[in-house]
A and B are shown apart, each in its own frame.
Chain A
Amino acid sequence: MTDIRAFDQTGEAGFRDYVALLKPRVMSLVVFTALVGLLVAPVPVHPVIAVASILFIALGGGASGALNMWWDSDIDQIMRRTCARPIPAGRVEPREALGLGLALSLISVAMLGLAANWVAAGLLAFTIFFYVVIYSMWLKRTTPQNIVIGGAAGAFPPMIGWACATGGISLESVAMFMLIFMWTPPHFWSLALFMNDDYSNAGVPMLTVTHGRKSARTHILVYTILLTPVAVGTAFTSIGGGVYLAASLVLSAGFLRGAWRIWKRDEAVAEADKYAVEKKTFRFSLIYLAGLFAALLAEGVLHHLGLGGWW
């Protein structure tokens, strides 16, 4: 009986466990933003090459997710949010995750180079390196600014999508990068405000732990204020237009309002309503980013129809 239990818990992961290693929810954001980057680019891409490129970018994102889970398996088993992941749950061996992550990294970069171009493949390789080595291995456990710098890894996909079409980097792709880069800190710090215990227990120097929640609330407001001109300013590049401008103004007003309300509150008030405003702002931040990229996509469609844009 004991033998059967031991065998049951360790040796036999299901297919969905390996899929879970690739962080499918993060992957969906990668796919969406990379697709927008590719579709709003001024150079048309053959549909088959576009689909293949997005798939390989997603696979590269998944590979970095598997490598992150391999490296962070020790703290994942402490945190409530991550303890059910395949490695801490005992369904996948850490070395399996390492092998899968390395193999998928090589396959995704090589295939993106062959399918699209080597600039895009180089950016994908750098993204994987940045997320795994710079963020997971180095910054995550050493600095409370981990989210700020680590957010760059999540900001690369639209830039890679753009590079798939154009073969280079431009103001527009940097604008899309900056959107996600500046959005990540207020998004994650809103989450950290109501998941604080998790990070404290795991010893991750999240800003809420090292500098206190009041400081984190101020940081959320400051970053949201800094994000606003980036979001609205993108409207005046060649991928922007009236539709995007309207969307960015409305969404930025909503995000600023949430950040302002977070800043005005103290812990007693937040605890009294179980962090309702923080949770609401966190959820709104997801709508905010999805809304901005959807608006860019709408501008891209309008451009193709000869409408939209400013000139």
Chain B
Amino acid sequence: MVTGFSEGHEIHKRRLGRNLGLGGALLAFVLLIFALTIVKVGEQPKPLSAKPAAVRQEASG
């Protein structure tokens, strides 16, 4: 049976390190997605293609 590890046991240290590392990676990923979203939303929209514009002009004329 694996019981009764003390608080400072190697296993607890490794587990803590793994959890902190994973937490940090997830936080960094969230921040990156946030930054990407800001940049993508702020990008200039691409101009409409020529054909639909011509079609619109014909329709209005």
B6-41 contacts to A, CB under 8 A, are 10-11, 14-15, 17-18, 20-22, 32, 35-36, 38-39
Interface residues on B, range: 10 to 19
Pairwise interchain contact B11-A8, C-beta atoms closer than 8 A: yes
Interface size on A, residues (CB 8 A): 20
Pairwise interchain contact B11-A7, C-beta atoms closer than 8 A: yes
Q: Does A268 reach chain B (CB closer than 8 Å)?
A: no
Q: Does A115 reach chain B (CB closer than 8 Å)?
A: yes
Pairwise interchain contact A12-B14, C-beta atoms closer than 8 A: yes
- The tally of CB-CB contacts under 8 A between chains A and B is 41
Residues of A within 8 A of B2 (CB): 3-4, 7
Docked complex Cα distance between A255 and B14 (Å): 44
Residues of A within 8 A of B32 (CB): 51-52, 55
From A12, A51, A52, A114, B11 is in contact (CB under 8 Å) with A12
Residues of A within 8 A of B20 (CB): 15
From B17, B38, B39, A15 is in contact (CB under 8 Å) with B17
Q: Which positions in A face B, CB cutoff 8 Å?
A: 3-4, 7-8, 11-16, 18-19, 46, 48-49, 51-52, 55, 114-115
Pairwise interchain contact B39-A49, C-beta atoms closer than 8 A: yes
In the complex where A7-B2, A12-B11, A12-B14 touch, is A52 in contact with B21 (Cβ < 8 A)?
no
Pairwise interchain contact B36-A15, C-beta atoms closer than 8 A: no
In the complex where A3-B1, A3-B2, A7-B2 touch, is A12 in contact with B15 (Cβ < 8 A)?
yes
In the complex where A3-B1, A15-B21, A15-B22 touch, is A52 in contact with B14 (Cβ < 8 A)?
no
In the complex where A46-B39, A49-B36 touch, is A8 in contact with B18 (Cβ < 8 A)?
no
Docked complex Cα distance between A86 and B55 (Å): 63
Residues of B within 8 A of A12 (CB): 11, 14-15, 18
Question: Measured between C-beta atoms, what is the minimum distance from A167 to chain B in Å?
Answer: 13
**A-B contact sample (11 more), CB < 8 A, given A8-B11, A15-B21, A51-B32:** A3-B1, A7-B2, A8-B10, A12-B11, A12-B15, A12-B18, A15-B17, A16-B21, A18-B18, A18-B21, A48-B36
- Among A3, A8, A15, residue most surrounded by chain B Cβ atoms (within 10 Å): A15
Pairwise interchain contact B11-A48, C-beta atoms closer than 8 A: no
